[in-house]
Structure 1
Amino acid sequence: MKTIEAYRIKEEGYHPFLIREGWQVAQLNYVDTYEIKNIDKLDIHHHTDEVFILLKGKAVLIGARFIENSPVFEMELMKPNITYNVPQNTWHNIAMEEGSEVIIIEKSNTHLTDFEFHYLTAEEREALIELVTQLLNVV
C-alpha cells in the first residue's frame, strides 16, 4: 500500500482523476473546445465553487453576470501557481492556448450533475473573442 499517490494527466481535455467523498480534483489540458474562437457557451454550478490553478501555458478565466439578459464579462489572465476561485452561481468558462494545463478543484461529480449552460449569441461570442484576444496579446 502506497502512502503517497502521484498523478500526471497528459491527454487532451477534462479529466477528473481524484474523486473523494465531497470533492474532486481534475486536470484540464488544452483541447480545441477551449480555443477562444471555439467557445460557444458559459456554464454555472449551483452547488459548488470551482478552483482553477494554471500549471503551464496561457489561459484566461472568464466570468460573467447578466444584466438585462446579456452577459457582462469579467476576465483574468491566469498566472501560474495562483489559485483562482469562481464562486458558486457564477457563469464562467476558460479560454486556453495550445499546450496549456489547468488543475480544477470542486465538489465531487460536479461534471456529471451540477451544471447549466448559456449558449452565446453570435454578438456575445464576437464580444468575448475580442476581449479575450486583447487580454492574451497584452503579454
Structure 2
Amino acid sequence: MKITEKYKHEGEGYSPFLIRPGWQVAQLNYEESLEIENINRLDVHFETDEAFLLMEGNALLVSAQIEEDRIAYDMQVMETGIIYNIPKNVWHTISLKENAKVLIIENDNTHKDDFEFYYFKKEQQREFLEAAMDIWP
C-alpha cells in the first residue's frame, strides 16, 4: 500500500506541483532569466505571504519598498535549510545561480492571478545590479 505522495521538479524554472485548497508547494529551479544580470522586475502578492527554502545551490532573495520610483532593497544571500518569508504586499524577486533549487510555499492561486509586476527603468536596473553585486558577485 502506498500512501505517501512524492514530487520532484527536474526542469528549469517555476513549477507548482502540490496544489491543495488554500495552499501550494512549488519549486523554482535555475533558468537563465533568473541570473542577476537578467532580473528586470519585482513582483508582489496581495493575498499571501510567500515562503522560500533553498534546497541546493546559490540564491539571492530580494525584498523591496518602492516610493515614488525610489527602491530600497533588503537582499539576503540564502542559506540552505533556512526558511525565508516575504509577507504579502512586499515587492520581491529572486536570483538563482546555475544548479540552484528553491522550494516555495504560498496560496494556491498565487501563480494564476495574485501578482503584479513592477518593471525597472534603465537606471533602476543598473542600481539593482550594483546593489546585488555588492553582496553577491
Q: TM-score, normalised on structure 2?
A: 0.96
Letter in 2 for 1:101: K
Letter in 2 for 1:15: S
Alpha-carbon separation, structure 2, partners of 1:24 and 1:13: 16
Alpha-carbon separation, structure 1, partners of 2:32 and 2:41: 14
Q: Which residue of 1 aligns with 2:68?
A: 68
Alignment of 1:1-139 (within 5 A): 2-137=2-137
Alpha-carbon separation, structure 1, partners of 2:97 and 2:127: 18
| Root-mean-square deviation over aligned CA pairs | 1.0
Deviation at 1:69, TM superposition (A): 2.6
Letter in 1 for 2:127: A
Letter in 1 for 2:38: N
Deviation at 1:125, TM superposition (A): 0.8
Unaligned runs of 5+ in 2: none
- Give the secondary-structure state (helix, strand or coil) at the position aligned to 1:108: coil
Letter in 1 for 2:101: E
Deviation at 1:68, TM superposition (A): 2.8
**Percent identity of paired positions between Structure 1 and Structure 2:** 46
Cα offsets for 1:64-87 (capped at 9, x unmatched): 001333211110110001000000
Deviation at 1:41, TM superposition (A): 0.5
Alpha-carbon separation, structure 1, partners of 2:56 and 2:131: 21
Alpha-carbon separation, structure 1, partners of 2:73 and 2:120: 12
Q: What is the number of equivalent residue pairs in this alignment? A: 137
Deviation at 1:126, TM superposition (A): 0.8
Alpha-carbon separation, structure 2, partners of 1:2 and 1:41: 43
Deviation at 1:89, TM superposition (A): 0.1
Unaligned runs of 5+ in 1: none
Farther off after superposition, 76-85 or 3-12: 3-12
After the TM superposition, which segments of 4 or more aligned residues of structure 1 sit over 3 Å from their partners?
none
Alpha-carbon separation, structure 2, partners of 1:107 and 1:131: 30
Farther off after superposition, 54-63 or 122-131: 122-131
